[in-house]
Structures are given as C-alpha cells and as structure tokens.
C-alpha cells in the first residue's frame, strides 16, 4: 500500500511538469488503454478463462470464492488449481499447467498482475454487489460479474473493459437510483440487458449460500429465505441528502 502511494505520487510528479501534464492528460484521454490495458503486461500464466468459464461453465465464484464473503473477490489459491488439475491428466503436459505445478512444488505464489485496480481511497465491496444481485435478485452469476468485469468467459486472461472510474460507478448508481442515494435497492429488470451478445443465463443460484458472512456458521439459506430476510430490510436504508453532491465518505476512506 505504501509503495502504491509512492506509485501514485510518481505518477503525479509526472503530471507536475507542465508539458508532461499535458501529455499525460492526452494519453489518459486517449482512452483507458494506456493506463489500464494489461495486454502489454504479460501474466505469469496464460490462464484461459474461455475454457473454464466458457467451455466448462464453471461458476465464477467457484474460483473467486471470496467475492460473496469479503470486499475482495480474491484470486484462487494455487492449491485450488491443483485440486482439480491433479485429476486432469489430459492437460498435464501443457506448458502452462507444467508451470502451474512448478509453482506448486516450490510452494510459491503466482505473481499475477493486477488488472482491475481501483485507487486506495476507494471503498468497494464485492460482497454487497454479489449479495444484492445474485442472492436477492437471483440473476445468473456470470451476468452479474459481467456488469463490471465484462464477458470474461470469452477472454483468455482477464482484461479491464470497464473504466472503473468514479464517474462510471455513479453512472449506474445514479441512473437507476435517482440523484444522491447510493445503495437504494435497484429495480431488478433494468439489469436484464445481457452484458455481451452471446450472453444467456448460465446457471441458476441453487448451491447453498451462507446467509451471514460467518465462516463458522455455514448456516445455509435457500434463495426464498434470503428473499424473505431481505424484505425485512427497511426501504429507506441510508437514504439521505447531504450538502455535498454525493456521500463521498461512503467510498472515500
């Protein structure tokens, strides 16, 4: 985190010099490509999402298992990859699988490059969004994840296809919620627009989900139970106007 502060600082310093500022501004405006596309940054393992998510239709949250429990989705631990792959001898000799196993032998973490990266001062929790759209509205997982991460099941390694800027977040939050109140329940059908042309509901949420995010209470709730619980929530949750344009403090720590 501290290095991150340093990195931002360096970037700002870049911006400081009058000319460089202009250049940086131009580059940024030239699109998020320069800043956010990692096609120029090679991932240690050429992970094929299109096989896992696309071909085998593995639920996103099978690997990114923290998404519904924590504010971060989490990169699957190496053990998880191994857990399946040691039972799949067919692909065992592919170079990238070899590489995977070499990491496992060395008990080394895989140094992935971070693709979806929001600044430190941003407070974003996966948990809230997952619980809202998947468990409450019961929408297909890949569609919900696709809202921000794009049609991953067609990718190889993940790409950042949404800007993930404040303006972009607000574009949803405001468009569907009126002016200032982030967090008001959204009308469900608005989101039924498929994320990509090839998109169709992948699988229904039937597997048990923890209702309370408590690892020690794996008390599972059916979807209807969760629905009932969520209906108990008061309608006006955190629904106020403030002097400033938005409740900045909800996102900015």
Partner 1 sequence: MDKMKDIEWAKINKDVLGSLESPRMIFWVVLAVCSLLVAAGVAAEAYQYNEGLGVALMNRPHFWQLYISNFIFWIGMSHSGTLLSAVLLLTNADWRKPIYRFAEAMTLFSILTAAFFPVIHLGRVWNLYWVMPYPNERTIWPNFRSPLLWDASAIFTYATSSALFLYIGMIPDLAICRDNAKGWRKKLYSMLSLGWMGRAREWLAFRKTYVLMGCFLVPLAVSVHSIVASDFAMSIMPDWHITSFPPYFVAGALYSGCAAIITLFVMLRYIFKFEEYMTVDIMDKIAKLTFAIAMVWNFLNFSEYASIWYSNDMYEKEVLIQKLIGPYWPVVWGMLLCSTVAPFAMAFEKFRQNMWAMFVLSIIIQLGMWLERFQIVSPPLASNHEPWTWAVVWPGTVQMTITAASFGWFTMLFLIFCKVFPSVSMYEVKELVFHHRRVSARSEIEDLDKEKEEALRAQEGVA
Partner 2 sequence: MSRNTWSRRTFLKAMGLGGAGSALVLSGCGDTDIINEVDLEVRKEKVEPQVDPQDFVRPGIAMFYASTCQQCPAGCGIHARIRQGRVLKLEGNPASSVNHGRLCPMGQAGLHGHYNPDRLTKPMIRKGGKLVEVSWDEASDTLKSKLGRKNSKLAWLSGAISGHHAALIDAYLEAAGSKNFFVFDTLPPAVGHATNEEMFGSAMPRYDFDKAELIVSFGADFLATWMSPVHFPTQYAKFRKAPRGTLVQIESKMTLTGANADRWIGIRPGTEGYLALALASLLAQDSEYASRVPASVADELKGVDVDAIAKLTDVSVERMHHLHHMLASKNPSLVLSGPSAEGVEYGSETARAILLLNVMLGNVGKTILPRSEAPFPNLTPRMGGWSEAKAFLDGLDSGKYDTAVVFGTNPIYQAPEFMHADKAFSKAKYRIAFSMFPDETTMACDLVLPIHSYLEDWNTTMPAYSPEDGYLGLQQPVMNPVFGEGSTRSFGDLLLEQVKVLDPKFKHWKNYEAYVIGALTTMKPALINPPKPTVPGQTEAEGFKQGILSDGFVHMKVNKPKAIRAKVETVNLPKPPQQDSSYPFRLIPSPRLGLWDGRHANIPWLQELPDQLAEVVWDSWIEIHPKTAAKLDVETGDVVSVKSSKGSIKVKVAVFPGIHPEAVAIPLGQGHTEYGRYAKGIGVNPYSILEPKFDAKTGELATYATNVQVTKVADRGPIVTLAHGDLVLENGSNSQAGRKIVKTVTARQFDRTEEEG
Partner 3 sequence: MALKRMLENWSDFRKDDYYDDTPYMWGMAIDLNNCIGCGACVTACYAENNLPVVGKEHYSRGHAMHWMRIERYWDDPDGNTDVDIAGKPDIPFDGHHDNSNDPDAVTFPERGAHYIPMMCQQCNHAPCEPVCPVAATYHSPDGLNTQVYNRCVGSRYCGNNCPYKVRYFNFFNFWEDLPHPLEMQLNPDLSVRDKGVMEKCTFCVQRQRAAKDAAEDAGHPDYVEDGAVQTACQQGCPTQAIAFGNLRDPNSEVSKLWREHQVKLNHYEQEKDEDIRGYRVLEDLNIEPSVMYMDRVRDTEA
CA dihedral 182, 183, 189, 195 (to 10 degrees): 70
- Judge whether 202 and 151 are in contact, CB under 8 Å: no
Which of 166/211 has CB closer to partner 1?
166
Site string for partner 1, 160-199 (x = CB under 8 A): ------xx--xx----------------------------
d(CA 41, CA 117): 14
Q: Which of 85, 57, 60 is nearest to 75 (CA)?
A: 60
16 binds, among partner 1, partner 2, partner 3, none (CB under 5 to 8 A by kind): partner 1
Minimum separation from the CB atom of position 199 to partner 3 (A): 30
CA atoms within 13 A on the CB side of 49: 18
Which of 103/191 has CB closer to partner 2?
103
In the complex, the residues that contact partner 3 under the rule CB under 8 A are: 1-3, 5-6, 8-9, 12, 119-121, 123, 125, 127-128, 179-180, 212-214, 229, 232-234, 237-238, 240-245, 247-249, 252-253
Task: Report CA torsion sign: 99, 104, 105, 106.
Answer: positive
- Judge whether 223 and 205 are in contact, CB under 8 Å: yes
d(CA 55, CA 153): 8
89 binds, among partner 2, partner 3, partner 1, none (CB under 5 to 8 A by kind): none
In the complex, the residues that contact partner 2 under the rule CB under 8 A are: 1, 3-4, 6-7, 10-11, 35, 38, 40-41, 64, 66, 69-79, 103-104, 107-115, 117-118, 120, 213-216
Which of 74/194 has CB closer to partner 2?
74
Task: Report CA torsion sign: 171, 172, 177, 183.
Answer: negative
Pick left, alpha or beta for residue 178 (phi over 0 → left; psi -120 to 50 → alpha; otherwise beta).
left
Minimum separation from the CB atom of position 216 to partner 3 (A): 13
Minimum separation from the CB atom of position 79 to partner 2 (A): 4
Which of 55/71 has CB closer to partner 2?
71
Residue 240 in 3-state DSSP?
coil
Residues found near partner 1 in the complex (CB under 8 A): 12, 15-16, 21, 166-167, 170-171, 244-246
């Amino acid at each position: 985190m501290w290095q991150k502060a340093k990195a931002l600082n360096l970037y700002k310093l870049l911006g400081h010099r009058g000319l460089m500022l202009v250049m940086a501004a131009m580059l940024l405006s030239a699109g998020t490509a320069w800043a956010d596309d990692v096609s120029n940054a090679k991932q240690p393992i050429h992970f094929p999402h299109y096989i896992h998510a696309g071909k085998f239709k593995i639920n996103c949250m099978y690997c990114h298992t923290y998404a519904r429990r924590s504010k971060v989705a989490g990169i699957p631990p190496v053990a998880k990859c191994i857990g399946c792959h040691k039972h799949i001898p067919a692909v065992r000799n592919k170079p990238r699988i070899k590489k995977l196993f070499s990491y496992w032998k060395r008990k080394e973490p895989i140094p992935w490059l971070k693709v979806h990266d929001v600044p430190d001062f941003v407070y974003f929790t996966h948990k809230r969004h997952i619980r809202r759209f998947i468990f409450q509205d019961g929408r297909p997982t890949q569609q919900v994840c696709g809202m921000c991460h794009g049609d991953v099941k067609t990718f190889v390694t993940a790409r950042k296809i949404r800007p993930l800027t404040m303006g972009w977040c607000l574009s949803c939050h405001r468009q569907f919620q009126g002016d200032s109140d982030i967090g008001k329940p959204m009308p469900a059908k608005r989101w039924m627009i498929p994320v990509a042309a090839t998109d169709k509901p992948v699988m229904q949420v039937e597997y048990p989900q923890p209702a309370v995010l408590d690892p020690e209470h794996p008390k599972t709730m059916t979807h209807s139970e969760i629905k009932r619980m969520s209906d108990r929530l008061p309608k006006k949750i955190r629904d106020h106007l403030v002097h400033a344009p938005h409740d900045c403090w909800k996102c900015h720590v």
